[in-house]
Amino acid sequence: MSDSIQLPDIGDSTGTLFTPEQEREFGEMFLRQVRSQATIDDDPEISDYIQTIGQKLAANSDNPRQSFNFFVVADPNINAFAGPGGQIGVNSGLILMADEESELASVLAHEIAHVTQRHLYQSLEASKRLSIPSAAAMLGAILLGTKSPQAGQAALVALQAGATQFQINFTRDNEQEADSVGMQTLSRSEFDPRAMPSFFEKLQQSNRYEGRNLPEFLRTHPVTVSRISETRARAEVFPYKQYPDTAAFQIIRTKLRAHTINDTGEATQYFKAVLKQGTEQQQDIARYGLALVQIKQNKTAEARDTLTKLVRKYPEQSHFINALAQAEIAAGRYNEALALFDQALTRFPENRSLLLEASQAQLLAGKPERTRKLLTDYLRHAKATPEINQMLAEAYTKLGNEAEGHRYMAEYYYHAGHNRAAILQLKLALQAAKGNFYLSTMIDQRLGELMEEERAKREEDRY
């Protein structure tokens, strides 16, 4: 958990602005802001996928020691952005727009390059008298393209003040550098460098059909004809070869599509069209998509039938096993679902999304102690996410441990950017923990941290 905030003005132009610890803290504050202003898709398989491809690129970047966190924003608009501390968000709309994995990778590599080349801090340095909480709030608002009052008072004030002193229009030089550095990263990571100019061109063209609304991505990263041709010339240096997509890319896009198309008829039509023309693997993945839509429609028998066949044909594909288990859950067959997860976890013990889905299934099946055990063991070597905190809160509450239930709920709210709700939960936890000295002390300390943060923010608002 983060310490109380004592951060310098960003406008400090002495050069090195942050210690690594401060940068991490700034990044986490930014992420909480993003969560309070937009919906992050916390589906374990979707977040694992974006994290996997992102970390692969990051490991091949100019600064492999820089830490990164990748996440998907549930938003049909075309956008991707790099915040402080290596926090990189990509909208589901952009993932669906990428027809090849290398296209998605090219945007991520470009954003990674903005981070490793410190472009964000260069533009931040131009601004004066901005404290880190203000900057985090404002960056969230600017990069997400939101003007919502939820952005918070500090963000709005800062936005007005920032109109003259602060902009995230990367300069033309920044963009060129991010393209060329990003392309090196792309190639070192075994993705197609040519996907970068072709995807930027596609983005620019899509803009024509969308009417007056410029995709947010093009607002913060202006794509011009000359930039595309420069990038294309740069890509020509690399030898031609085949860059097959991973199955995970196609599966995740299918899942996103099944999730985002609200009209199940339209989704069904889309997947049936793929069945008529795709390769065998594409057809099988379209069948998976159809099954996901059928689960939504409560046609669980049909979904189970399709998914059982897919699991038999692709026993190594954990996404299919998980979908089959979800179909069993939707049909109320919890024991079958739990058995599937148990088998799968024996086979793939390191698979994080299977573990999280299994924990959720245990909760639904009325076995909160199993959920508690699975997640507590997992947290010994991994970081909590809002989703994990929420599951633990529910598990503890069901187990009759109110104090821990409120404590985890507080962490859930805190990471969702809702400090006041978090403070309320901690106060409830403190009441429930009466008589437990150790737990009370821990809760009290955390309460102090959050109240200090809240106090600092209120002062910020006044300024």
Chain residues that interact with Zn ion, rule: CB under 5 A: 170, 175, 178, 221
Nearer to Zn ion, 223 or 258 (CB): 223
Catalytic residue, from 48, 111, 404, 453: name it: 111
CB of 151 to Zn ion, least distance (A): 22
Q: Write down the least CB distance from residue 216 to Zn ion, Å.
A: 12
Nearer to Zn ion, 168 or 311 (CB): 168
What DSSP line would sit under 97-130, residue for residue?
H-SSHHHHHHHHHHHHHHHHTTHHHHHHHT--S-
Which one, 30 or 200, has the nearer CB to Zn ion? 200
125 labeled part of a ligand binding site:
no
Torsion-angle region of 299 (φ positive above 0: left; ψ -120 to 50: alpha; else: beta): beta
Angle at 352 between CA 346 and CA 358, to 5 degrees: 65
Q: What number of CA atoms fall less than 13 Å from residue 394's CA on the CB side?
A: 18
**Residue number, 113 or 426, with CB nearest to Zn ion:** 113
Q: Which is closer to Zn ion, CB of 143 or CB of 303? A: 143
User: Looking up tokens 């403190």, which residue turns up?
Assistant: 430
42 an active-site residue?
A: no
Q: In whole angstroms, what is the distance from residue 287 CA to residue 275 CA?
A: 8
Pick 217 or 341: Cβ nearer Zn ion: 217
Residues 66 and 11 sit within 8 Å (Cβ to Cβ):
no
Q: Given CA atoms 444, 446, 452, 455 in this order, what sign does their dihedral have?
A: negative
Minimum distance of Zn ion from residue 179's CB (angstroms): 8
Q: What residue number has its CB nearest to Zn ion?
A: 221
Q: Which is nearer to Zn ion, 115 or 338 (CB)?
A: 115
Torsion of Cα atoms, 126 then 130 then 136 then 139, to 10°: -40
The length of the chain, given as a count of residues: 463
Give min distance, CB of 95 to Zn ion, in A.
Answer: 18
Sequence-distant (6+) residues with CB within 8 A of 461 are 153, 154, 157
Q: Is 48 a catalytic residue?
A: no
Could you tell me if 77 and 216 are in contact, meaning their C-beta atoms sit under 8 angstroms apart? yes
SS3 435: coil
Cα distance between residue 319 and residue 45, in whole Å = 8
How far is it, in rounded angstroms, from Cα 31 to Cα 29?
Answer: 5
- Does 175 belong to an annotated binding site? yes
The residues, ordered by sequence, that sit 6+ positions from 354 with a Cβ below 8 Å of its Cβ are 318, 321, 322, 341, 344, 345, 348
Closest distance of CB 119 from Zn ion, Å:
8
Catalytic hit among 43, 100, 101, 179:
179
CB of 231 to Zn ion, least distance (A): 11
Q: How far is the CB of 178 from Zn ion (least distance, A)?
A: 5
In order, the DSSP letters of 256-323 are: HHHHH---HHHHHHHHHHHHHHS-HHHHHHHHHHHHHHHHHTT-HHHHHHHHHHHHHH-TT-HHHHHH
Q: Which residues are catalytic?
A: 111, 179
Binding residue positions = 110, 114, 175
Binding residue numbers for Zn(2+): 110, 114, 175
